[in-house]
Amino acid sequence: MAEVSALYIYPVKSMAGVALESAELTREGLALDRRWMVITETSGQFMSQRVCPAMATLTASVVGECLVLSDARGETFELSTTAHGPTVEATLFKERVTGIDQGDEVGRWLTERLGAHKGEALRLIRVPENNQRRVEPDVLKADEVHRTGFADGFPFLVAFEASLEALNARIGVESPLSMNRFRPNIVLKGHELAAWSEHGVTGVAACHGQYVLRLCKPCKRCKITTVDQALGVVAGKEPLKTLATMGNVDQTGAFFGENAVLEHGAGYVINVGDAIVLDGGGQ
Give the tens place of pLDDT for each residue, 168-177. Answer: 999 997 889 9
Q: Note whether 13 and 37 are within 8 A (CB).
A: yes
Q: How far is CA 274 from the centre of its chain?
A: 20
The sign of the torsion formed by the CA atoms of 31, 33, 39, 44 equals negative
The three-class DSSP label of residue 2 is: strand
Q: How buried is 192 (Cβ within 10 angstroms: 0-12 exposed, 13-18 middle, 19+ buried)?
A: exposed
The three-class DSSP label of residue 268 is: coil
DSSP 184: -
CA distance readout (Å), 166 to 170, 256, 261: 6, 11, 26
Give the tens place of pLDDT for each residue, 23-41. Answer: 999 999 999 999 999 999 9
Q: What angle do CA 145, 47, 22 make, to 5 degrees?
A: 55
- Where do you find CATH 2.40.33.20 in the chain? 2-30+135-279
Give the tens place of pLDDT for each residue, 219-263. Answer: 999 999 999 999 999 999 999 999 999 989 999 999 999 999 999
CATH number of this structure's domain 2-30+135-279:
2.40.33.20
pTM: predicted TM-score of the whole model, two decimal places: 0.96
Summarize the confidence of residues 79-90 as an average pLDDT: 96
